[in-house]
Amino acid sequence: MSVSDLDTATRHQFNIPNTVRGALVVSVNEDAPAFQAGLREGDVIQEINRHPAQSADEAITLSEKAKGKSVLLRVWSRGGSRFVVVAKDQVG
């Protein structure tokens, strides 16, 4: 999975409100556990292990600092937020 910062163009492309902050999921390998967990292009990672991720760099840093083999993500997707657990090496 790879992430990027939100900007005006991507907000418009994926219909993401200005109030949503985080790291935009720009690609997810269909064979990856992140895809199987439900993450898709256009989702926004808002938190990692209950710590806010305001940008792609923050999301990568938080995932690298996470202990254990998995991370808890709060993800905005299609108008609502949900929690997803993915393997630590799948974020970034």
Compute the half-sphere exposure of residue 20: CA atoms within 13 Å on the CB side of its CA.
Answer: 26
The two tokens of residue 83 are 């929690």
Please give the model's pTM, rounded to 2 decimal places. 0.90
> What's residue 89's pLDDT?
67
Residue 92 pLDDT grade (very low, low, confident, very high; cuts 50, 70, 90): low
Question: 31, 29, 54: which is closest to 44 by C-alpha?
Answer: 54
Residue range 2-90, CATH number: 2.30.42.10
pLDDT tens digit sequence for 23-54: 999 999 998 888 988 999 999 999 999 999 99
- Bridge partners of 6, per DSSP, are none
